[in-house]
Amino acid sequence: MTIGFIGDIVGKPGRDMISANLAMLKKDFGIDFIIANYENASHGFGLNAKNAAELFGCGIDVMTGGNHSFDKKEILTLFDSLPIIRPINYPDDTLGEGIFETVINGTKIAVINLMGYYCMPMVDNPFTKIIKTVEELENSGYKHMIIDMHAEATSEKNALLHILKGRVSAVIGTHTHIGTDDLMVMDGCCYVTDVGLTGCMDSVIGMDTKAPIKRFLTGIGEHFDVPKGCRAILQMIIFELDDAGKAKIAKKVKLFDDGNMIITNAILI
């Protein structure tokens, strides 16, 4: 089974890159299942119904969230009708689910959305929560488990790898929008600290540079906007799983809006 994981989709430039390229990538790399992070998909903050339909129409199978999951309140009406999840360690009474369970080519697969502590909203302990969740899924016969770890701190993501390696198929980091150069497969677990954004490259984490620069220079914040025109990139992790749910190989694909592509293979540890 071949899985594709797309990092934070930021605004229209990110959606346009998905629309223009995802079908080709699925075909060329033989991808069976696509996961993508939606939390910045609608003008940089949250996800609305129109953009959800647009992204699923491009071939995405399930979408994960993070600290911006609830920025567009209409998402509350989408959780029951679309394969959209939010971090599992939000309080129990929070709407939505943190796990998406499905069957692909006869194989049970679970996608879990988890959020870190540092600089994030108030959530339950991500580490104790995920250990319990993985145990429950193992007891239900799941071997193929993929975690979107949406966190600011690289140490939280890295620690999660060492807690769960050998038990889950992948721990994929999102949130910072800056791709990291540490893609590896360790004890059958595909890992990267952050996939990186899909959206504007000539920006500050996908946003127009004016507001963040003003904030850094003066301390005065303004609303962040996604640029209307920019150089765009699509960043994706592609990994293959065996029948036991173990990752065997993985690669990072960086596709630029001029058609150039960079492929980096994972280190096997």
Q: Does residue 70 come out as left (phi exceeding 0), alpha (psi in the -120 to 50 range) or beta?
A: alpha
In this prediction, residue 140 has a pLDDT band, given cuts at 50, 70 and 90, of very high
Percent of the chain with pLDDT over 70: 100
**How many domains would you assign to the chain?**
1
Q: At what angle do helices 154-164 and 126-139 cross, to 10 degrees?
A: 30
Tell me the catalytic residues. Answer: 68
pLDDT digits (tens, 9 = 90+) for 60-89: 999 999 999 999 999 999 999 999 999 999
- Of 18-32, 132-146, 208-222, 253-267, which gets the smallest average pLDDT? 208-222
Mean pLDDT for the stretch of residues 130-150? 98
Tell me, what CATH number does 135's domain have? 3.60.21.10
Residue 254 has pLDDT above 90, yes or no: yes
Mean pLDDT on 146-153: 98
Q: What is the pLDDT of residue 223?
A: 87
- pLDDT for residue 221 is more than 90: no
Q: How far is CA 227 from CA 8, 139, 207, 211, 237, in A?
A: 16, 47, 6, 11, 25
Concatenated DSSP letters of 7-40: --B-HHHHHHHHHHHHHHHHHHHT-SEEEEE-TT
| Residue 170 to residue 181: CA distance in whole angstroms | 16
pLDDT of 229: 87
Residue 59 is part of which domain span? Answer: 2-268
User: Is a pLDDT exceeding 90 seen at residue 118?
Assistant: yes
Instruction: Tell me the mean pLDDT in the region 176-182.
Output: 97
- pLDDT band, very low/low/confident/very high, at 228 (cuts 50, 70, 90): confident
Mean pLDDT of 210-239: 93
